[in-house]
Amino acid sequence: MTTTSQDIPKTTHSVPEIKIFGPHECPNCGTAMKLFDRHGIDYTKIDLEAGDENHRYVTEDLGYLQAPVIVVELGRKTVHWGGHRMDMLMALVRLCTQGIVPEHEADDR
């Protein structure tokens, strides 16, 4: 099943944990990182080397062959995608910059 921007919620109660997997020299990883940096969004970049544990995770466990692979932990939900997906990146930027709502505020709605 293809991940779409609809898979990223509009709001969350906690800051998402973002991991960017890709080779050391990865232009599309750099694009994602620059976008996140510009918006003050924290992430972890994980370099992949053919055959290493992280490479096996994204290729065998998640099934991706194109970098970057972005994995977002949203509490109990995990969203991930591979390749340069500006729709997904922008949905994640919106969530991180506009959609983090403390639980007590959500309860007041």
Does 4 map to a domain?
no
Quick one: which of 91, 72, 85 has its CA closest to 11? Answer: 91
- pTM for the predicted model, two decimal places: 0.91
Does 88 map to a domain?
yes
The number of domains in the chain is 1
Summarised one tens digit per residue, pLDDT across range 89-106 is 999 999 999 998 887 654
Summarised one tens digit per residue, pLDDT across range 23-72 is 999 999 999 999 999 999 999 999 999 999 999 999 999 999 999 999 99
Does 80 map to a domain?
yes
Does 10 map to a domain?
no
Does 5 map to a domain?
no
Does 1 map to a domain?
no
Q: Which residues contact 109 (CB under 8 A, 6 or more apart)?
A: none
For the domain that residue 40 is a member of, what is the CATH number? Answer: 3.40.30.10
Structural domain for 87, as ranges? 15-107
Does 6 map to a domain?
no
Does 56 map to a domain?
yes
